[in-house]
A = this chain, B = another copy of it.
Amino acid sequence: MQGSQQSAAPSAVYPPSDRTVPTRAAERASYDRESVHAILDEGYVCHLGFVRDGAPVVLPTLYGRIGERLYVHGSTGSRPLRMADGAEPGLAVCLTVTHVDGLVLARSAFHHSINYRSVVVHGIAHQVTDPEEKRTALDALVDHVVPGRSRDSRPANKKELAATAVLRLDLAEVSAKARTGGVNDEPEDLSLPHWAGVLPVRRQYGAPLADPDLAPGIELPDYLPEGPR
């Protein structure tokens, strides 16, 4: 129904919650949907936290995004995926993505910092049981790492699909946090004889290393860079 809550465009921001409002540096937090998506789409490795026997566990893993849903995958035997088995009650998770953009060197040790952008997602992850959603999610995971790649690879067969579990996490309780800009030293420290400034950091790709057993005539696809970028 036009105009109903179901079909309306999503709000431009995620509603803040007790968990997503930081206790400090609140001015660095944002709930803007576009900013959150942009940070998520620039990365492909997240750190997934869950609780096992009362203690926290944080594991790096790949993720993909389709609209307001994040997907992670793993062997059906892996711990978080076994723990989220079945539709209910799901697994409480915290999924965090961080990009480091620069090292901030202040004149004072105290004001040293990092320029970064991060997204923290809280929620309950559920195993994807619908085969079609599972296939789409796996394509999204591959395309998140290399856009366009899923169409240029053999799709998972039945056995591979059965061995792979996929978790879905809705983007609902979400915040982004970023530090940008230069050095924030105390005014009385500006004359100190220490260099201060920002050392930019970025991710760089090297020249692709082709598998020695490539089929004859296979060339580097357009979606990969030829050299460092």
A-side residues, CB < 8 A to B, are 19, 23-24, 44-45, 47-52, 54-60, 62, 75, 77-79, 82, 92-96, 98, 100, 103, 105-110, 112, 114, 116, 118, 120, 122, 138-139, 142, 145-146, 149-150, 152-157, 160, 164, 182-183, 185, 189-215, 218-221, 224-225
CA of A108 to CA of B206, assembled, Å: 22
Interchain CB contact (< 8 A) of A145 among B82, B112, B220, B221: B112
Residue of B at shortest CB range from A163?
Answer: B110
CA of A116 to CA of B206, assembled, Å: 15
For A193, list chain B residues within 8 Å (CB): 215, 218
CA of A93 to CA of B54, assembled, Å: 11
With A116-B60, A142-B112 in contact, do A47 and B197 touch (Cβ < 8 Å)? no
With A204-B201, A205-B199, A209-B182 in contact, do A192 and B94 touch (Cβ < 8 Å)? no
Total identical chains: 2
For A120, list chain B residues within 8 Å (CB): 57-59
CB distance from A58 to the nearest CB of B (A): 4
For A192, list chain B residues within 8 Å (CB): 154, 215
For A109, list chain B residues within 8 Å (CB): 138-139, 142, 150, 153-156
With A58-B58, A164-B110 in contact, do A98 and B47 touch (Cβ < 8 Å)? yes
CB distance from A99 to the nearest CB of B (A): 9
The winner among A96, A195, A219 for most chain B CB atoms within 10 A is A195
With A94-B49, A106-B153, A110-B160 in contact, do A77 and B200 touch (Cβ < 8 Å)? no
The answer to whether B62 touches A56 (Cβ under 8 A) is no
